[in-house]
Amino acid sequence: MSSPELTTTEGRAGDGRLAEALRKVASSMVAILTTLFGLLLLTFIIGRMIPADPVISILGDNFDQAAYDRVYRELGLDRPVPEQFLTYVQNILHLDFGQSNVTRNPVAADLARVFPATLELAVLAIFIGTLLGVPLGIASAVRRGTWVDHLGRVVGLLGYSTPIFWLGTMVILIFYARLGWIPGGGRIDLYNDGLVEGPTGMLILDALMAREWEVLRSALHHIAAPALLLGYAAMAYLSRMSRSFMLEQLNQEYILTARAKGLGQRPIVWKHAFRNIRVQLLTVVTLAFCGLLDGAVLIETVFGWPGLGQYLTAALFYADMNAVLGSVLLIGLISILINLLTDVVYRFVDPRTR
């Protein structure tokens, strides 16, 4: 007789969990939308306050008053600012991000072109940075004070303190101009340009899918230097962080206990200490990745990489507000998504958050 009761209790508990989950989803949706709206409002206000005149940026060197007035009206600048903002938000809700004054394309089409270029670079860089940086940091911590540690710290310090545009320029000077090992910039040889288009916009993936090996070779050849440089910068950061996380753990009493129990170095480091720094590591890797998405502008400029950083910089420089707002919105959205994803991963690696 007790079994139906049990089922009911379980059912109730299940309903409760579902409701709880729904409530969580709803509250995070509200948080996301509020954040995005705030971001838009702030960017819009800043855009109106900077002294640059978008009309002049469109018209060029010389023009008469009639042409000025025409473009002023076309941009909707003759209407009150709150109305302009409302119209913009309305259009966003219809997934219309407006037209870029610089490229004259719909901003959505521009972002679909430039974002994959940056994403490709950032993903490769974070892979390189994590795969090299974390083991290096851990090795430095474990062999603290030995040559491994010193080497790791010097490598990290160099990457951390050298301006990346300077490193980029040096790499171009040595490996492009002197040795001729790398191409001088861009995503692909001009002769292979346009052979592969879509579906992801990430050339390496697209070339793999289309089995265009020459395009793949050219794309890898072009991405190698910027990705290694960005990867190096990420590595420097991640190795420093993992070194200090690891050192903190290795000084804990439970490690001493493990050692006292006669456990070997390997299981102490990987089974005990590493498990405990995974959450922190995940946080810094996420931060580094978000930084790469919007902060690769210097490397993009040096290597002529037509990515989001360059796009946003040009938009800011030429008072191209639609492009600025669209880019900021995209970066905001991606950051939020990555953070959400990280939260989900936390639940797997850290039982306390379940």
Residues making contact with other proteins (CB under 8 A): 51-53, 56-68, 70-71, 100-105, 110, 113, 169, 172-173, 176-177, 179-186, 190, 193-194, 217, 220-221, 224, 301-302, 304, 306, 310-311, 314, 317-319
Q: How far is the CB of 258 from other proteins (least distance, A)?
A: 27
Q: How far is the CB of 174 from other proteins (least distance, A)?
A: 11
Q: How far is the CB of 143 from other proteins (least distance, A)?
A: 23
**C-beta neighbour count of 185 within 10 angstroms:** 17
Q: Which is nearer to other proteins, 172 or 288 (CB)?
A: 172
Q: How far is the CB of 184 from other proteins (least distance, A)?
A: 5
What single string gives the DSSP state of each residue in 31-64? HHHHHHHHHHHHHHHHHHHS---HHHHHH-S---
Q: Which is nearer to other proteins, 28 or 301 (CB)?
A: 301
Q: How far is the CB of 2 from other proteins (least distance, A)?
A: 51
Q: Which is nearer to other proteins, 173 or 337 (CB)?
A: 173
Q: Residue 165 and residue 267: Cα distance in Å, rounded?
A: 41
Q: Residue 134 and residue 269: Cα distance in Å, rounded?
A: 13
Compute the Cα dihedral for 226, 228, 231, 237 and give only its sign.
negative
Q: Which is nearer to other proteins, 106 or 291 (CB)?
A: 106
What single string gives the DSSP state of each residue in 220-286? HHHHHHHHHHHHHHHHHHHHHHHHHHHHHHHTSHHHHHHHHTT--HHIIIIIIIHHHHHHHHHHHHH
Q: How far is the CB of 163 from other proteins (least distance, A)?
A: 15
Q: Which is nearer to other proteins, 102 or 324 (CB)?
A: 102
Among 263, 282, 265, 31, residue whose Cα is nearest residue 139? 265
What single string gives the DSSP state of each residue in 18-33? HHHHHHHHHHHHHHHH
Q: Which is nearer to other proteins, 36 or 123 (CB)?
A: 123
